[in-house]
Amino acid sequence: MFAPLKIWRKWHGKANITQRRHAVASALAASACAPLVMARGHRVEGVPELPLVLDSLNGENTKGLLNTLNRFGCAEDLAKVRRSKQTRQGTGKYRNSRYVMRKGPLVIYGDGSSQVRQAARNLPGVDVCHVSRLNVLQLAPGGHLGRFCVFTEDAFRALNNTFGTNKAECTEKRGYHINRHVMNCADLSRIINSDQVQAKLRAQRTSVRAHDKTKKNPLKNKAMMLRMNPFAKKRAELVAKREADRHNARAAALKAKRSKAGRTAKHARTKRDQDLNAGLEKSFADAEAVIAEEIRQGAYQPGDSEEEEEDN
């Protein structure tokens, strides 16, 4: 292949560190919204609350952790992950990633429950992450918010130090303040259409064009034709009336012809024309018989006439 893609190609764009921190905080906040979690495909109907915080995950092995998750309503989501395992389509199956699987719960642990990482690493679809190392790739896989997160107690308490609150700054990220709500009511249409706001607004302005920017064809534009020829409307009415009268007269004539009296008159005309034609044919036949008789007697020479005799 000529000029192949280089391995050092820049595939990612730079973003400010504050923007990345806001993105992680927003993704973490979305994990506590049940509609977003369910819209992402997680089965959380049996989970008692979101976010789910557990305090007995530190000293458990893989079997005990699985039983604890099933006891708090995660069994259906874990079963969905196991059913979704399938072979990857295309040649990607040869690149050390033969199987694909849906995302399951994300277990977030703190410093006091570090053994959870070892216990959860063999569960299908379950990811683990330290509370101080949360990232958007785990909180919003594929760019879709609403990852199902399971917190340990110490990790949930450490969120205030990691991201801060509206009253206190965070201790781990210097100079970072969590986003604050700019509006108490996010329904903009309700605010704009309220009587209090509409009463202070001016009336809606309408622009009136002083003159037409395009020249209109009077033959196609009726308004322009009436400006040039006021009689055009009356003329159109007369033409329409004449066409309507012609149409009605034609319909009346056809009706008269197809009536009983019309058929009788047509039969009489046909009989008269046939009689006239028969009389003409008989007259020509009699004339030809007279000429043939004169020729037979020798009294008629073809080509002779009285006009030739007068000329001589």
The mean pLDDT of the chain is 88
Q: How far apart are CA 243 and CA 185, in angstroms?
A: 67
Domain ranges of the chain: 17-85+100-178, 222-304
Q: Which residue has the higher pLDDT, 299 or 184?
A: 184
- Are residues 31 and 53 in contact, defined by beta-carbon separation less than 8 angstroms? no
pLDDT at 309 over 80: no
The token pair at 23 is 């993105």
Residue 116 has pLDDT above 60, yes or no: yes
* Amino acid at site 78: L
Question: From the CB of residue 159, how many other CB atoms can be counted at a distance below 10 Å?
Answer: 20
pLDDT tens by residue, 177-229: 888 777 777 788 999 999 999 999 998 888 887 777 788 899 999 999 999 99
- Enumerate the H helices of the chain as residue ranges: 17-30, 34-39, 62-71, 75-83, 116-120, 136-139, 153-157, 159-163, 188-192, 195-200, 222-228, 232-258, 260-297, 306-311
Averaged pLDDT, 124-139? 92
What is the rounded distance in angstroms from the CA atom of residue 108 to the CA atom of residue 149? 7
pLDDT digits (tens, 9 = 90+) for 253-279: 999 999 999 999 999 999 999 999 999
CATH number of 17-85+100-178: 3.40.1370.10
pLDDT in tens, 60-92: 889 999 999 999 999 999 999 999 999 999 888
Measured distance CA(68)–CA(311) in Å, rounded: 145
